[in-house]
Structure 1
């Protein structure tokens, strides 16, 4: 039996003991997880520094701070989330108990990504724990050092049988995917997402796919270009452009292209100095394979800013490409690197048409002071999320669902959405063995009179308060008595 199979079997065996279900246990595990981020911050930051050249402050800011916030919310709200949820009734069920009961799915597989190795791996784990599941955690092998630290630390702080960590590369992941899970949560690219979905289909396992795509950024000529470009530059070059919701390219009118380039250039200097290579806040491409891929995307475009690179250090400077054509190499795939192409368009209509010709993106950014422009962009396009006059920060709002649509993914998470995504929302209806006269309309023989009663009960949906419901219930008792007398006496 492989180590992957053993991990899954141990997790399922642990889940079947029922120990992951009590709310007190879930809360204790979440608090233990939070202690990890407080007590082992240096080990976490050192590993991320080796993998992605993130500073310790940057690691807290972009990786662990959001996780601590998510844990705080889950600890505070899990009792509310897990409680029965009353629903509206119709006249036939007004005397019944009708509610939704969230229940754990079982054993969840979480396959993390390398670009934010803690944030995108542990965030779904928080939801899985809060929902009462077991979870097998598979960190990305591309982040070699972080994967090892995660495998070493998680079993110290949280239940190692319920939440095992499986390390390794493609063969180990393939072996995991041969096992049966109750949900698979994958963060990564579209090509692998299709393989995940194919493997899940063999067991009819539901999936959450957090993918990516080319997230557009439309800059209106009437906006404050200094502020807009500062925010775009931050969104683009954070983590060396290796962010699934980074603005992938800019759409703007040709008349403002030079000013956009100049303002982005200023922001690059302000953020990362004249020499980003020596700046502790500027990252590196994850490995040489991705370095070569990103660099090749510049071959048929004009570099307006940056372009410096060093293969031995996996360094590519913050780069802006001007007058980019739709058929350029850089426009054929998600960039996932520090290249910012600018495509001149003839205003808003042209921008909307261009966006709609491509696959639906994970994020869409609009910079404009005009609410009508924002409204049109929202109404006439589709994307996983939309953000006006800023970049990335919608990810930090755990009251918003985070997820894609179409090619950019399926399913969503963060906050209560994580809990619901990794729960079965079970429909429950509890009746009593009385008032049988009301049910007679559904029993054969079926007659027009019975159909008339059924139409009344099913199609009448009065919006009643508590007093109204009590009065209606009393009336139904009378109706039931009449029906009972008519059909049975």
Structure 2
């Protein structure tokens, strides 16, 4: 069966690559037409996609629309409005001694791109990179997560009805299907997921010399100093943390609170949780569930590593974990070192920011770092210390919805960025058309060379080379 599946996937890739060879660079208008058809597909099937997201993760319809469909519609509109500018070639005509250069640099598509998307935002994280890939002129194969089957199957059906497979197609299957796909010679792979799986994808891609863009998440620290505390700030953190039951790659992972406002912050967290989800969050229509049993079991173990200040309720048969706040976590606990990716918020007091950094309690290369502060010096210090591609001050999550903000990781959180122009650049490479127009034959550049030739080169190097 594996050989039959591999042959089918190989044939699909060859079909896309042959189409790319026959028409390597679609026109800007053709790319816009593809994107607008994708937009219309989302609009036509909006209700069905919301229902699929609710089925897969019990997502509230508000969250399903806001953080999946609306983001994609905004991205398409932004890209279509900017594509003419992005695709415009840069030209220069410098003069040299004996000749004039004509240099034209533009962006060229890779060809056929494989997109492997995760389960936490199964629609947005499948199509958001595809938008950038199409804008750059590529053809795409999307492999959605098997842990969001309703969304994956609907995506396969609707894209299959809208696009020919040599332009855009969806392949469903399990981890074995993903391994077969990553073993094929795609022209670029875009992967969103865990660090462990990302390493495996990189190893397989390396065998084909295939470039890879990785979005891997990480432990996104959220620091709240004394000047940054306010009830509104705490509400922001609670909202961002427990959105989608904490299964958001840019959710605040751990909250570090200055000891002078620690107890006030905890009390405000409790008030916000009660306001958002009520005293019985299990009955709330605005609170999602854990996506699959394996992840549920991991989170259940993490809850046991600290004192439960709020929450802690579990319903295994429904994959429900209440919004949970942990305190008094012993040093060395695994929850302090690994990404939580769920509705568990460790809240840790600190006295001095420099000590926090010296203890390496904050992952420098997380996907994003959050800071709530009004202190300019503290803000500068955190911005300087972090390696994350984004340091967000006094807000959470919103930067990830802005198509003008590059979204990506560095180090353990991945490499490469997308969204907006960053996506156009990620899925294309710089290509230069070079031409020389001679007006004088210069024979001194040919051997044999003399000391006089070397002296001339030294004196006039800017005009000769």
TM-score (norm 1): 0.89
Pair 1:94–1:252, CA change in 2 (3 A): farther
Match of 2:129 in 1: 124
> 1:438-449 residue pairs with structure 2 within 5 A?
440=443, 442-449=445-452
Q: Aligned to 1:65, which of 67, 70, 87?
A: 70
Quickly say closer, same or farther: Cα 1:388–1:441, change in 2 above 3 A. Answer: farther
**Equivalent-residue separation in structure 2 for 1:116 and 1:375 (angstroms):** 32
Match of 1:486 in 2: none
User: Hey, what does 1:273 align to over in structure 2?
Assistant: 278
1:135 equivalent among 137, 140, 143: 140
- Which of 117, 120, 144 is the equivalent residue of 1:115? 120
- Residue 203 of structure 1 corresponds to 208
Distance 2:98 2:41 in 1: 48
Deviation at residue 275 of structure 1 after TM alignment: 2.1
Distance 1:453 1:120, change over 3 A: farther
In structure 2, the CA distance between the partners of 1:441 and 1:159, relative to structure 1 (3 Å rule), is: farther
Q: How many angstroms apart in 2 are the aligned matches of 1:162 and 1:310? A: 43
Larger Rg: 1
Describe how 1:153-232 pairs up with structure 2 within 5 A: 153-232=158-237
In the alignment, structure 1 residue 361 sits paired with structure 2 residue 373: no
1:410 maps to: 415
Q: Relative to structure 2, which stretch is displaced further, 266-275 or 371-380? A: 266-275
Cα drift, residue 375 of structure 1: 0.6
- The alignment of Structure 1 onto Structure 2 pairs a total of residues equal to 459
Note closer, same or farther for the CA distance 1:182–1:322 as it changes in structure 2 (3 Å cut). Answer: same
Q: In 2, distance between residues paired with 1:90 and 1:457?
A: 13
Show CA shifts across 1:383-405 (max 9, x none). 13210111111112222211111
Consecutive unaligned residues in structure 1, runs of 5 or more: 460-475, 481-489
Tell me how far apart the structure 2 counterparts of residues 371 and 451 of structure 1 sit (CA, whole Å): 55
Q: Secondary structure at the match of 1:222?
A: helix
**Residue pair 1:248, 1:335 contacting (<8 A) in 2 also:** yes
Cα drift, residue 456 of structure 1: 4.8
What SS is found at the alignment partner of 1:8? helix
Describe the shift of the 1:328–1:135 C-alpha distance in structure 2 as closer, same or farther (beyond 3 A). same
CA shift for structure 1 position 458:
4.4
Is the Cα–Cα contact under 8 Å of residues 230 and 264 in structure 1 kept in the other structure? yes
Provide TM-score, normalisation by structure 2: 0.94
Render the CA deviation track for 1:113-133: whole Å, top value 9, x for unaligned.
110111111011011111111
Secondary structure of the equivalent of 2:432? strand
Q: Does the C-alpha gap of structure 1 residues 448 and 390 become closer, same or farther in structure 2, counting only changes over 3 Å?
A: farther
Does the C-alpha gap of structure 1 residues 303 and 455 become closer, same or farther in structure 2, counting only changes over 3 Å? Answer: farther
In the TM superposition, what is the alpha-carbon distance from 1:434 to its structure 2 partner? 2.4
Q: Which residue in the other structure is 2:248 paired with?
A: 243
Q: 1:311 aligns with which of 296, 312, 316?
A: 316
* CA distance in structure 2 between the partners assigned to 1:356 and 1:329 by the alignment: 12
| Structure 1 CA distance for aligned equivalents of residues 236 and 144 of structure 2 | 30
Deviation per CA, 1:55-93, whole angstroms, max 9, x where unpaired?
Answer: 222111000111111111221222222221236958669
Which residue of 1 is the match for residue 45 of structure 2? Answer: 40
Report whether the alignment pairs 1:391 with 2:412: no
More strand by share: 2
